[in-house]
Structure 1
Amino acid sequence: MRAGRMRAGRMKRVMKRRWAPCLAPVLSLGLSLILSLGLAGPATAQTGTPLVVEAALDRSVVQPLLDAFRDAHPEIALDFRDRSTLEIDDLVTLADPSPDVLISSAMPWQMAQVNEGRARRLDSAEVRDWPAWAKWRDEVFGFTFEPIVMAYRLDLSRRMLPPLTHADLHTLLTTEREALAGKVTTYSPLGSGVGYTLFQQDARYTPRFWDLVAGMGGVEARLENSTRAMLKGLSDGRYWLGYNLLGSYAMVWAQEHPEVIVQVPQDYALVLMRMAFVHRDAPHPDAAEAFVDFLLSHAGQRVLAGETPLFSVRPDVIGPYTAQRLRDQVGERLYPIPLNASLLAFVDPQRRDAFLARWRREFRRDD
């Protein structure tokens, strides 16, 4: 997920080629043959039904799913755009024309947009068969099952015992305050919708949540707006320990960066779902519904389970990355964030302002 403001337009490259005069007739003949046979491949990709998907979802992680959709629907020209969660929320109301599909991990914001009537209600076999706990009013759908994790540098274990639980983390922040100064990172609840959501959920389950926030402030924890920024900091040594990272991104990163260790908390682990909906004013509603159907389908979920660490929701899909397999490994300590109207409370302006005010106060607390 990229942070920052949207850039209008794209840079175009102009490549100049010089051809030898004697090759011109041959090239001209070859071009004529290609056009007459209809083999101008790249051009055909632009002739299908357009589909604009705005998503807070790293392309590098979701690419296998996009490829599978293109294979299943060659008649649709998919334009997938990776944004930040806050950009996605703005695009719902500000983009003109509206996007066809919107995907975000900032669950309360997605729910609020749907509650305001900005999503189309869908009716298909895939929608009807989708688990009730992972959809709302047949308008918005949670199609992934991603654990929230801690991550640390391998060499941290040579300096101190890495935390396994939230209580361990609090102890480490207080006993190793000097050593960890500036070396801990987590989400900013102000700059990231995901960060705000995760801290709100932590407050429900961690008895000493505000002490934990104070502990992070005590080590001058660095606040980032994306999991990718935290992971980069861990790999380059700026950070030793990261808290509340998206497990899907962290697992992919750790496969290529052995210096980073991913830890699913052993006391409890939050689980986040990416929520997708078709915009009420989608310019291409049929293509949009086909895309969401594919996300929910056995074929689409099989790709999630086998080729991405986004974790499949469907109970009838088998693979290394499924909700059931995660439950088997972690047990009752998984706490999925409920996909229901209770999410709306988290974006209530007064409640949000009060929570952030206390967060700032506790983060600056000096014991």
Structure 2
Amino acid sequence: MLAAGAAVTLAAACGGSEPVPLQPVATGKPPSYYPAGYASVIEASKKEGGTLTVYSNTDQENWAPILRDFKRKYPWVEKVAANNLDSDEVFQRVLSEQATGNSPADLLVSNAAQAWANFAGRDGTLMEYESPEVSKLPKFGKLLAGVYSMSVDPLAIVYNGSLLEEDLTGLEHLADLATEDADKYRDKITARDVEGSFGFTVSHAFADARPGAWAHLQKLLPMARPETSSGTQLEKITSGEYIAGFFINAAPAYPVIERSGGLLELAFPSEGTVALPRGIGIAAKAPHPATAKLFVDFLLSEEGQRAVAEGGLTSYRDGVQAGDGRHTYQELVGKVGADNVIVTEYTEIPEGDVDAFLSRWNGLLAR
């Protein structure tokens, strides 16, 4: 991942070295079910200068096929600048800039559910845009007024196959192994740091949906060490510093596992698999509002969701096929069952509940 605050500018499509889209993109034409008045949005976009600025916590490789196909569909958009920030920093920077009355941000992308709920609840921060794609989306496709799911990425257990003699099936399985051989597993398991937004969101969502799983966490957490990023967890599992880790974002994990030559393995917890939406919304004072609307609508369309999957995130629109490195929500449901998918909601947890959860979780960690 790029350093926080680094600007990533992806230039317009330029020649034969660029990957070809999986399916043709309908240049300049919205889907047939869009309202007739949508033509005015397209015309307004053409007058906005052909640029767009995105504040996000999403990596360049994830964006590449999305921006490639968006620019082919709307070729007058020649420049999209994406600042790669931390999950919370996306909102902190926009709020700071909006306070001065001068923010370049058109779009915000983050999977910090609590921060999104807080941001969307403030006056004058977010455009409450109703996308014409809404009727085609599942319920979790719209997270808040004006906030939509870009992807819905599952949280997995990742483990070093050379250090385990059996395939993991869930947290209970890992907890039983750790209890049977405490010397082997002590400090060799990694969990996500719940003091950060991502770690809190996914861990709280799991425990809230599966309160009985605290019995497994009470065995695992005393042997676990927290880390602040999936990247760090994956590096240390690969090196053997950790045997296994849980609640690791599958989106960055998939390519690392593929490159590991069979060393790393991934499992979705049988007790329930958390799926975390990555939210996208338009800033209230977006400098290029029409182009921002085009981008959101494209991203939510079947065309856009194919590009989301191609970029390594988990798409969720029906009609997008998994395979060849592409992953979908439907694929996840097929593996674990619909009842075992825990889709995280974008709600602000009361401060007292946050404190109680942090106290209980951190109180179990080894000191």
TM-score by shorter chain over 0.5: yes
- Which residue of the partner structure matches residue 133 of structure 2? 126
> 2: CA distance between counterparts of 1:260 and 1:274?
25
> 2: CA distance between counterparts of 1:353 and 1:264?
28
Q: Could you tell me which amino acid in structure 2 is paired with residue 89 of structure 1? A: F
- Which residue of the partner structure matches residue 260 of structure 1? 264
Deviation readout 1:235-279 (Å, 9 max, x if unpaired) = 222222111011111112111122111111223211111111111
- Of 134, 142, 151, which aligns to 2:149? 142
Q: Is the 8 A contact 2:236 2:242 kept in 1?
A: yes
Q: Is the 8 A contact 1:315 1:323 kept in 2?
A: no
Does residue 315 of structure 2 align to residue 312 of structure 1?
Answer: yes
Deviation readout 1:101-159 (Å, 9 max, x if unpaired) = 1111122221221122421121342245433432045400012122110000121224x
Distance 1:357 1:59, change over 3 A: same
Distance 1:265 1:62, change over 3 A: farther
Structure 1 residue 48: Cα displacement: 4.5
Aligned-pair Cα RMSD in Å: 2.5
> 2: CA distance between counterparts of 1:128 and 1:207?
33
- Of 102, 107, 110, which aligns to 2:108? 102
Give secondary structure in 1 for the equivalent of 2:194. coil
Q: Could you tell me which amino acid in structure 2 is paired with residue 285 of structure 1? A: P
Give secondary structure in 2 for the equivalent of 1:179. helix
Does residue 170 of structure 2 align to residue 168 of structure 1?
Answer: no
Aligned-residue sequence identity (percent) comes to 25
- Of 171, 174, 199, which aligns to 2:203? 199
Q: Is the 8 A contact 1:164 1:263 kept in 2?
A: yes
- Which residue of the partner structure matches residue 34 of structure 1? none
Per mean C-alpha deviation after superposition, the further-off stretch among 91-100 and 259-268 is 91-100
Give secondary structure in 1 for the equivalent of 2:271. coil
Q: Is the 8 A contact 1:187 1:223 kept in 2?
A: yes
TM, length-normalised to structure 2: 0.78
TM, length-normalised to structure 1: 0.78
> 2: CA distance between counterparts of 1:186 and 1:129?
36
- Which residue of the partner structure matches residue 54 of structure 1? 55
Structure 1 residue 309: Cα displacement: 3.8
- Which residue of the partner structure matches residue 276 of structure 1? 280
- Which residue of the partner structure matches residue 116 of structure 1? 122
- Which structure shows the bigger proportion of residues in helix conformation? 1
> 2: CA distance between counterparts of 1:83 and 1:267?
32
Give secondary structure in 2 for the equivalent of 1:79. strand
Give secondary structure in 2 for the equivalent of 1:121. coil
Does residue 98 of structure 2 align to residue 91 of structure 1?
Answer: no
Q: Is the 8 A contact 2:107 2:286 kept in 1?
A: yes
Distance 1:64 1:364, change over 3 A: same
Does residue 180 of structure 2 align to residue 178 of structure 1?
Answer: no
Distance 1:162 1:328, change over 3 A: closer
Number of positions where the alignment pairs a residue of Structure 1 with one of Structure 2:
318
Structure 1 residue 326: Cα displacement: 2.4
Structure 1 residue 6: Cα displacement: 4.1
Q: Could you tell me which amino acid in structure 2 is paired with residue 171 of structure 1? A: D
- Of 230, 233, 237, which aligns to 1:234? 237
Q: Is the 8 A contact 2:205 2:342 kept in 1?
A: no
- Which residue of the partner structure matches residue 292 of structure 2? 288
Unaligned segments of structure 2, at least 5 residues: 9-47
> 2: CA distance between counterparts of 1:205 and 1:163?
21
Unaligned segments of structure 1, at least 5 residues: 11-46
Larger Rg: 1
